[in-house]
Chain A
Amino acid sequence: MAFMKMTSPHTTRAGDTGDVMKQVILACAPGLVALSYFFGPGSLINVIIACITAVTCEAAVLKLRNRPIGFYLNDYSAVVTGVLLGLALPPYCPWWIVVVGTAAAIILAKHLYGGMGYNPFNPAMVGYVILLISFPVEMTQWAAPRTILADGQSLLGPIQSLQQVFFGTGPDGYTGATPLDVFKHNSSQLVEHLYAQEPIFSAGRWAGSGWEWVNIGFLLGGAYLLYKRIFTWHTPVSMLAAIFILSVVFYDGGSSHSGGSPYLHLLSGATMLGAFFIATDPVSSAVSTTGRLIYGAGIGILVYVIRVWGNYPDAVAFAVLLMNFAAPFIDYYTLPRTYGHEKARRATEKDD
């Protein structure tokens, strides 16, 4: 009688890559809820369009590459890319923006590099940067939170939202400056005065009305993933720590040349989304724990540098892509110390 031949181990833990991805999608919920509450259904529409585009593109490319479509779609990685890009894009941006960005993310950034597991760059961020450079106007019109709307104005309803997204015929005046935009363009006022004057700050508590809650939402999602051990704490914590330290150092007592308070940097823009959902993308990040600490810190530093001294109000996408470049290099020099070895080696070493 012949039995099945296979090598050990004969048992594995339950769960697969799809389960991991579903956890990530689930963890996005608090952030999406906050976004929808403060800015209306724009982000939800973005996410839906992006997901549909992502899955369609994924299936098409898999078909072209003669890969089993169902098997790969089951890993939910395309959906994760769609969700993350949809969350990052401005609410109510034209539908084709979302489609172009998502298609670029799936086709260019993912499958042209070999597909799942082989992409050197975070696909969602590649899509985002392509859009930001190609369509700067559409990409910088962020909706104003419900808290600072003028009397008589309200958030866009579902129908209005769809009109705006698909035909650009929604009501005017739904957009407003983001906290980072405001700070970027300030060069004369003390931080204190700025906070008192600008409604986006005065209506909020720490870092701009609405934005702070969106970030807290993503922080909660991230905490859930940490609890679920989907990723380790190293990358997000080192990234947030780097931003925190830099913002403390360059706060400058709240002068007109201040870089902004730690609250502002930690709880506005895409900080928390980037820290827990973008920087933690395992495929394009460094692998060892030391490497991930360096990788995360690098992203944090770049985010702050670009925000304060660069041309863009926010910089998570650029920072992540730049550190994606550096990840293999970091990996070479951050091998952990193996059992029985006095010290860690470098991957560039040759034996004997």
Chain B
Amino acid sequence: MTKIWSIPGGIHPEENKSQSLQLPIGDIALPEELIYPLNQHIGVPATPIVEVGQRVLGGEKIAEAKGIVSAPIHAASSGTVTAIEDRTLPHPSGLSGPCIVIAVDGKDEFVEFAGCEDYLSLDHDTLVQKIRNAGLAGMGGAGFPTAVKLNPRANQTIYTLILNGTECEPYITADDILMQTRAEDLIKGTQLLARILGNPQRVVIGIEDNKPQAIEAVGMAAKDSNIEVVSFPTKYPSGGEKQLIQILTGKEVPSGKIPADIGIVVQNVGTAVAAYEAVRFGKPLIERITTVVGEALDTQRNIRVRLGTPIQHVLAEHGFVAKQASRLIVGGPMMGYALEQDDVPVIKTTNCILAPSKKELPPPRPAQACIRCGMCAEACPASLLPQQMYWYAMAEDYDKLEAHNIRDCIECGACSFVCPSNIPLVQYYRAAKGTMRQMAIDKEKSDRSRQRFEFRQARIAKAEAEKEAKRLARKKAAEEAKKKLEADKASGTQNAAPASNPAAKNDVVAAAIASAKASQATPEEQKARLERSLTSAEGRLDKLQQRHAEATAEMKEKLAAQIKQAELKLQDARKKLADFSPTDQATPGAVAVPASDSDDPVSAAIARAQAKMTMAPDEKLRANIESLHKRLQKAEEKLAAAKADNADTVDALQAGVDKLKAKIADNEKELVELGPVAAPQPAAAEQDAASAAIERAKAKAAAQASMSPEDKLRDQLQSMSGRLEKAHAKLEQAKTEGADTVDALQTGYDKMLAKQGKLRDELRALNPAAPELADSTLATAAAPTEPDAATAAIEKAKAKAAAQASMSPEEKLRDQIESLEKRLDKARQRLAKAEADNDENIDAFRAGVEKNEAKLQQAKADLENAE
């Protein structure tokens, strides 16, 4: 006697099996229409291989398996394909799905089935292929493609083959009657399956002890084989795959795994018979035994029915009285599903059609409150706590459901069956499982998106880091190059300097650099400052990012904003530094590129000074003259533009132009004087003076830009006297030392004196002559070398300004008023003349008069205040 294990829980519902066993297996007439849903099995739906209008024969394949976990479909009789369309499916959902519809022609012609007598000599693959081609799917109810189960993975050695003849559901007797009538075929089928699975050590046919006839028949047939026939006490749900394994082997299928993982394969007895037919006779799965039972029927029995037969046809053949039926169930009363429509077909998994009367299976009573009596927990074959799962399912607490192993619920319905409060527990679990499945799918989807996003972020960050690293490397290289250049320059200048006057030359460079530096913030300092700000910005960003990583979710947004700000600052600092760096590099580079067009006065001055040093004195002078000419041209252009705009800077520009002219003249004169034998010293001194002058001119130009014309004049005059003093001091020094530069210095000093005088004249002339400048623009531009009325006026103004410089404020003001009155008179005269002549410049004249009047008033007011 084989050892039997017991399972926890379980129930004993009324069996109701005798009703359908009173009559032998019957046959019914062919229906007019056969309907084949493309998905009658677990897995991928089959693909139709017939077309509408095509004639098919019985046994002809009409849909091909698609993928591994799938099964083909065969026509059960001859006829014409009338449609491939959506029809109501025999499914708990009651949804529609694609079906092949065949109009039966009644001839019932079949294709030739290719049998094989010596099937046990065929190899494993051929046998599996035959079973697969026959469209076999588990006939116990689940419908898993049989061929897949018979082809376990290489690492799954099958030790036990179990044939499930339990049929624990009430009412159903299809397997019972099959075992009673076809025990021989069952044994052959079992041997075939065992052969395919590599002859497992143990082959068992398990049958509940409420089927004595089946046990006897199968026991007789299995007498001479090594197949065990085991009967065990009737208890629902012993026929569940997992429960049957536990009963027959004492093993449990680990949660989330399949029986093959523990070396066990379970097949339904009906599947075994169908497998035998498929291999031995080449007959595809086109019919099955189905129990037709229930008090709403006249006849209750088992029938051999063609797959695809509409259920309403089956019911009609059994005297179905729809009015009496409380519902229509496919499968048993415990796990079967209720149909809303009876036009769905019998499919591979349809083991029972139950049409109970209202008395037989009354409508469910209303559910009462759960009193947690625990009867459900006692009934559960999986040792779950249904009352707790119900509680959490109602609360939609999916974490708790997971912890209560809701996934291990086999939905057998034992808990609902025993519940005194009539709570439809399984319904809650199904709903919760469905939601959890959906949630898992959604979670996977969102996980994938998040992974993608994170990967993208990482990639961007990496690219940024690489860019930053490159930038830093570049910066470092530039710094090193600069240092090297500076070192080179220092040594190179020393080496290259003429022995006679190295100090003077160095002084020139140093002075140029120093003055340039003085005129602007030191580049090094600036750079250091920028670098400091960069470092601090980086530090801040790092700190913030660290805090961001540590921060809680609600703080993150705030911090993210701060980080963004810090990043912007960092970017700004980097940009500034980057902007600064080229300038930085240009300083040493100026030696190599003396003609650098840089706007930066510092580098330009250095470049010019250095260019001068490397040239011969006469060349230098020529270059000087050339550059002065250029500057003059520029200045004149600017002056013209200013005059056209009637700008305030006109005076200053005019002065600048004049000065440049004077300088050019001086230089030309010097060049003539210098001659081919000119000593280097004066040239050096001149060089010094020249570059200094350039610098001063520039500084002055910058300062002048923001001054009023009169202020500018005064400034100019001041600087001129300063220069004069310096020159004088130099001259005196030279004289006392008896240097041979005395002559040259004397010449320069004289020239300067002359210049000063000239400037004073100009200044004196400036103010009264101002209005005339408007007219003389073209003349000045056309004949720059000829002193014209405008220049005279400037000279005059300059002289006056110089005179004013030595006056008391009141005197100055009086003087001003006088001159203004004069100018006003003149202006009025001219305006009158212009009005008479109808001059086109009349507006300008009028404006000049008005301006003069305003100035006069202002000056008078100032005088009053001063007095």
Q: Which A residues are within 8 Å of any B CB, using their own CB?
A: 1-13, 15-17, 19-20, 71, 75, 77, 115-118, 229-232, 282-283, 285, 287-289, 292, 331, 335-342, 345-351
Q: Which residues of A contact B408 (CB under 8 A)?
A: 338-341
Question: A231: which B residues are within 8 A, CB to CB?
Answer: 373-374
CB neighbours of A2 from chain B (8 A):
340-341
For A348, give its contact among B338, B375, B403 (CB under 8 Å): B403
Cβ–Cβ < 8 Å partners of B399 in chain A: 350-351
Which partner residue on chain A sits nearest B381 by CB separation?
A: A339
Q: Given the interface contacts A339-B252, A341-B255, does A7 sit within 8 Å of B430 by beta carbon?
A: yes
| A116 CB contacts on chain B under 8 angstroms | 368-369, 371
| B374 contacts A287, C-beta separation under 8 Å | yes
A269 to B382, CA, bound (A): 40
The answer for the CA separation of A4 and B126 in the assembled complex, in Å, is: 46
Residues in chain B near residue A349, CB distance under 8 A = 403
Partner of B372 from A232, A287, A336, A339 at Cβ < 8 Å = A287
Cβ-closest chain A residue relative to B388 = A287
- Per-residue A-contact encoding for B687-725, CB less than 8 Å = 1, 0 else: 000000000000000000000000000000000000000
Q: Decide yes or no whether B67 CB sits under 8 A from chain A.
A: no
Whether B370 sits at the interface, judged by CB under 8 Å, is yes
Q: Which of B419-466 contact A (CB under 8 A)?
A: 419-422, 424, 426-427, 430
A342 to B363, CA, bound (A): 40
Q: For residue A337, which residues in chain B have a CB less than 8 angstroms away from its CB?
A: 383
Q: CB of B742 within 8 A of chain A?
A: no
Q: Are B334 and A11 touching (Cβ within 8 A)?
A: yes
Q: What is the distance, in angstroms, from A15's C-beta to the closest C-beta of chain B?
A: 6
Q: Report how far A283 CA is from B327 CA in the complex, Å.
A: 34
CB atoms of A350 and B402 under 8 A apart: yes
User: If the complex has contacts A4-B326, A71-B366, A75-B368, are A9 and B420 also in contact, measured as CB distance less than 8 A?
Assistant: no
For A117, what are the chain B residues with a Cβ–Cβ distance below 8 Å? 369-372, 421
Which residues on B are within 8 Å of A, measured CB to CB?
8, 11, 13-14, 92, 94, 170, 242, 246, 252-257, 322, 325-329, 331, 333-342, 356, 361, 363-366, 368-375, 377-378, 381-385, 387-388, 399-400, 402-405, 408, 411, 413, 416-422, 424, 426-427, 430
The reply to whether B404 and A20 form a contact with Cβ atoms under 8 Å apart is no
Asked if A4 and B369 make an inter-chain contact with CB atoms under 8 angstroms apart, the answer reads: no
Is the CB–CB distance between B404 and A347 below 8 Å?
Answer: yes
Supplied contacts A339-B246, A347-B400, A350-B399, 9 more A-B pairs, CB within 8 Å: A4-B363, A7-B338, A8-B338, A9-B417, A20-B371, A75-B369, A232-B374, A282-B374, A335-B404
Q: Which of B14, B255, B327, B430 contacts A6 (CB 8 A)?
A: B327
With a cutoff of 8 Å between Cβ atoms, the chain A residues found around residue B404 in the complex are: 335, 345, 347
Chain A residues in 8 Å Cβ range of B427: 7
Query: Which residues of B sit under 8 angstroms from A338, Cβ to Cβ?
Result: 255, 382-384, 405, 408
Cα A13 to Cα B365 in complex, Å, equals 11
How far is A77 from B331 in the complex, measured between Cα atoms in Å?
37
CB of B326 within 8 A of CB of A12, answer: no
Are A341's CB and B372's CB within 8 A? no
Check B373 against A20 for contact (C-beta < 8 Å): yes
Is B327 in contact with A340, judged by CB distance below 8 angstroms? no
- Chain A contacts of B420 at CB under 8 A? 15-17, 19-20
Minimum CB–CB distance from B316 to chain A (whole Å) comes to: 12
- Tell me the bound Cα distance from A337 to B408 in angstroms: 11
Task: Give complex CA distance A117, B422 in Å.
Answer: 14
Closest 10 CB pairs of A and B: A9-B413, A117-B369, A340-B255, A116-B369, A339-B382, A351-B402, A338-B405, A10-B333, A4-B327, A3-B328
CB distance from B395 to the nearest CB of A (A): 12
Quick check: B403 and A5 within 8 Å, CB to CB? no
Contact of A3 with B254 in the complex, beta carbons under 8 Å: no
Cβ-defined contact, B327 with A331, below 8 A: no
Give every chain A residue within 8 A of B430 (Cβ-Cβ). 7
CB distance from B426 to the nearest CB of A (A): 7
State in angstroms the CA–CA spacing of A139 and B417 once bound together.
44
Of the candidates A1, A8, A77, which one forms a contact with B371 in the assembled complex, judged by CB atoms under 8 Å apart? A77
Q: Whole-angstrom distance between the alpha carbons of A338 and B253 in the complex?
A: 11
Least CB separation from A327: chain B residue = B372
CA gap between A287 and B389 in the complex, in Å: 11
Distance between Cα atoms of A349 and B401 in the complex (Å): 10
Please measure, in the bound complex, the distance between the C-alpha atom of A2 and the C-alpha atom of B399, giving whole angstroms: 38
A8/B336 contact (C-beta < 8 A), A13-B418, A336-B383 known: yes
* Chain A hits for B246, CB < 8 A: 339
Residue of B whose beta carbon sits closest to that of A338: B405
**Complex CA distance for A340 and B555, rounded to whole angstroms:** 45
CB neighbours (8 Å) of A115 from chain B are 369
Check A16–B92 contact: CB distance below 8 A.
Answer: no
Cα of A54 to Cα of B411 in the assembled complex, Å: 39
Q: Which residue of B lies closest to A71 (CB)?
A: B366
Q: Given A2-B340, A3-B340, A349-B403: A8 and B421 within 8 A (CB)?
A: no
- Name A16's closest neighbour in chain B (CB-CB): B420
A-B contact list, 22 entries, CB within 8 Å: A2-B341, A3-B340, A8-B426, A9-B413, A9-B417, A11-B334, A12-B417, A13-B13, A17-B369, A20-B371, A20-B420, A116-B369, A116-B371, A282-B373, A287-B387, A336-B385, A339-B252, A340-B256, A341-B255, A341-B405, A346-B403, A351-B402
Question: Cβ of B400: which chain A residues have Cβ within 8 Å of it?
Answer: 347
Considering only CB atoms, which chain A residue lies closest to B331 in the complex?
A: A8
Closest to B387 in A: A287
B334–A8 touching, CB < 8 Å: yes
**Residues on the B chain within 8 Å of A283, using CB:** 371-372
Q: Given A5, A9, A346, which contacts B416 in the complex, CB threshold below 8 Å?
A: A9
In-complex Cβ contact of B333 among A9, A17, A285, A289 (8 A)? A9
When the two chains form their complex, are residues B13 and A11 in contact, meaning their CB atoms are under 8 A apart? yes
Contact yes or no, A8 B252, CB < 8 A: no
Contact of A287 among B326, B329, B377 (CB under 8 A): B377
Q: How far, in whole Å, are A340 and B262 apart by their CA atoms in the complex?
A: 11
Most buried by A among B370, B403, B419: B403
Determine whether the beta carbon of B426 is less than 8 Å from that of A9. yes
Give bound CA distance, A11 to B329, whole Å: 12
Pair B371/A3 contact, Cβ less than 8 Å: no
Task: Give Cα A17 to B367, complex, Å.
Answer: 10
Distance A345 CA – B335 CA, assembled complex (angstroms)? 28
List residues of chain A with CB within 8 A of the CB of B8. 339
B-side contacts of A292, CB under 8 Å: 374
Chain A residues positioned under 8 Å from B256 (CB to CB): 340
Looking at B256, B339, B385, B411, the one whose CB has the most chain A CB atoms below 10 A away is B385
Q: Which of B14, B94, B338, B383 has the most CB of A within 10 A?
A: B383
A11 partner residues in chain B, CB cutoff 8 A: 13-14, 170, 333-334, 361, 417
Least CB distance from B802 to A in Å reads 95
A229 CB, nearest partner CB in chain B, Å:
8
Q: Are B374 and A340 in contact (CB under 8 A)?
A: no
- Given A16-B420, A349-B403; A10-B338 close (CB under 8 Å): yes
Q: How far is the CA of A8 from the CA of B409 in the complex (A)?
A: 14
A347 cross-chain contacts in B, Cβ below 8 A: 388, 400, 403-404
Q: How far is the CA of A283 from the CA of B420 in the complex (A)?
A: 14
Q: Which residues does chain B contribute within 8 Å of A336, judged by CB atoms? A: 377, 383-385
**C-alpha spacing A345/B257, complex, angstroms:** 18
- A3 near B325 with CB under 8 A, answer yes
Partner of B338, one of A5, A75, A346: A5
Name the B residues within 8 Å of A342 (CB-CB): 254
On whether the beta carbons of B242 and A340 are closer than 8 Å, the reply is yes
State the Cβ distance, A80 to closest chain B Cβ, in Å: 10
CB <8 Å contact, B333 and A7: no
A70 to B443, CA, bound (A): 46
Q: Of residues A8, A12, A117, A350, which shows the largest number of chain B Cβ atoms within 10 Å of its Cβ?
A: A8
Q: How far is the CB of B168 from chain A (nearest CB, A)?
A: 13
**Closest chain A residue to B383, Cβ basis:** A336
Interchain CB contact under 8 A, B364 and A6: yes
Which residues from A are CB-within-8-Å of B419?
A: 12
**Which residues of chain A are within 8 angstroms of B375 by Cβ–Cβ distance?**
229
A347 to B242, CA, bound (A): 24
